[in-house]
Amino acid sequence: MIRFHYFGIEGAPAPWQSIWEKQLQLHALVASGQLGPQVIFAEHSSIYTAGRATQPAELPRDGSPVVQVNRGGRITWHGPGQLACYPIVKLTIGSVDYLRLLEQVIHRCLADWGITSVSPPTLTGAWVPATSRRPLRKIAFIGARVAQHTSLHGFALNVSNTLAPFANIIPCGLEGVEVTSMAAELPYPPSVLRVAHTFERHLEDVFC
């Protein structure tokens, strides 16, 4: 069984740094075998985080501060209305296979809410397919790290957040990429809390 932790959801947003410290505490316990699988759900206060592959040209155009993090991937934004999910689980598979599992979890959750998503072979995360009116657009972002065979960081899904902060950066290092959210794709989007509850079942199916 996974133990789920909730921070900042439908309340005061949780600062990224405090959640990172919580991840490290749980990671030490899971990696040492003192705890079983743990998952943190969080709704953050507004912040840019940059993974190890981030290039200077991708940083905020207005000089907004950026937190450098030790995950894979490049720069992204977190903030109110977006669901961040941090699985902290022992892994018996490689990091690439783990990323593919996270993508499948996201696809299943979005399908429950009537949104079809895909992960093109050359791209990470979850994307809403192109239509005659709109191009391929990114709805979820993945940036993970594995240490001591145990996962850190995770993914972020745009639920009802503003998309404006993404126009201030080159998200994930992809010039000209369109970003979307559940609110932009659905006439009546769910709350962040309801989306997190949907993820619980799919994470249990994959990791337990």
The residue among 44, 15, 18 whose CA lies nearest residue 165 is 44
CA 94, 99, 103, 105 torsion-angle sign: positive
| 208 part of the active site | no
From the list 85, 109, 172, 208, the catalytic residue is: 172
166 φ/ψ angles, rounded to the nearest 5 degrees = -70, -25
35 and 70 in contact (C-beta within 8 Å)?
no
Q: Which positions ≥6 away from 19 have C-beta within 8 Å?
A: 7, 8, 40, 42, 44, 84, 86
The residues that are catalytic are 172
